[in-house]
Structure 1
Amino acid sequence: MAQSTVPYFCQWATPELAVDLIKGRAALADDANWAESGAADQAEYCEWANHVCGMACLKMVLAHRDGTAPPLLELARRSLPYGAYVREGKQIKGLIYAPFVEFVGEQFSLTASVQIDVSVDELPQLLTQYRYFMASVHPSIRQPQTPPPTRGGHLVLLIAADKDTVTFHNPSGDSRETRQHVTIKLNEFGRFFAGRGIAIR
């Protein structure tokens, strides 16, 4: 299947609101389309929307395979019994990789595996063995020319790679150019990439 057919989903219900959310000019409570996330109410959306980059990646995979996919918050709720997210007080920890792999295997018959200590040069080969790779990157990858403070903390869906570049969908991109079919050089991607993620067949 061609990479161009992989659909895109934002982790926020209104993609056009992303830049204002990122810059602090808007709050999640300002998102009038919150119900499209599958949240039971606005409070649930506000609690979860900043934590579901991994579920947005999963929704892209499912929609590519099946032509449709459940809403993001439904996916998140279904993953909770597996331990894909853990609550610590008012904080939500996750996505936690191993429980997520079990979740997608049992619920959606996806073959997935946790990948660690992956060098950026190994990504092209990895994507010949697997169809998708949910890669841990710093969220500032939407500005690849700017050095990130750390690596990791956010998930993007790699859909293609060659010896020079990677192409991915970013659930928290702040413009069309930083959201869909983003192609950057491998060495640029490596500055943000934490060397880990989830590979999916």
Structure 2
Amino acid sequence: MANLILGTETERKFLVHDGWPRQAPGRLIRQGYFPAASGITLRVRWTESRGTITVKTPVVAGTRWEAEYPIPPEQAEALLGLCPLRPVEKFRHDWSEGGLHWEIDRFLGRHAGLCLAEVELMHPWQAVPKPAWVGEDVTRVQAFHNSVIARTESVMEVLSLWGRLRTAKPAGAGETFKGGKRAADIFPAAEFPRRVHVGPELRNLLHRWHSL
């Protein structure tokens, strides 16, 4: 068994537009989270070939420390069964473009329809040439952190959380989206505030989700 791996992580996360390289190879991932000290993330991840236990510190100046310990896949699967929240399931596609390696996460299960891209950098100030299919930078948007996604029950709950965090054009419950649905029909009634911030990226995601 390999030893503990210590290192730093500097990455950016983006929304994904249509036209992304669906043919890119990848692997199925299931990951869950255990309660930890404030600001600390304790993750268990399963893939068919390996499992990992990872501890991540808070992000400081765009970078955070992480410690990763590899474990057999069957042990990871057993630990996922002990997580207080249901695991997040996704298929991670690997793609190189513009001199960078992109990891495109196509979420499955209760979060099917959500797609995010991550790119790891050498340092926080490294320029990121964005391919045409890469959208808005959501690195600092908590709604798209995997540990937060794990606490939600659907894509719409993730988008609702993002909508409440936005500071773009406010939209009321009567705004109509593709298919004739109103914002009040999309966001859970119990959670829909009187005024929800809905920007262009959120509108596009909602339109695409309801056209599937």
- Taking structure 2 as the reference length, what is the TM-score of the superposition? 0.28
- Taking structure 1 as the reference length, what is the TM-score of the superposition? 0.29
Higher gyration radius (CA): 2
Higher percent of residues as strand: 2
Asked which structure has the greater RCO (Cα within 8 Å, sep 6+), the reply is 1
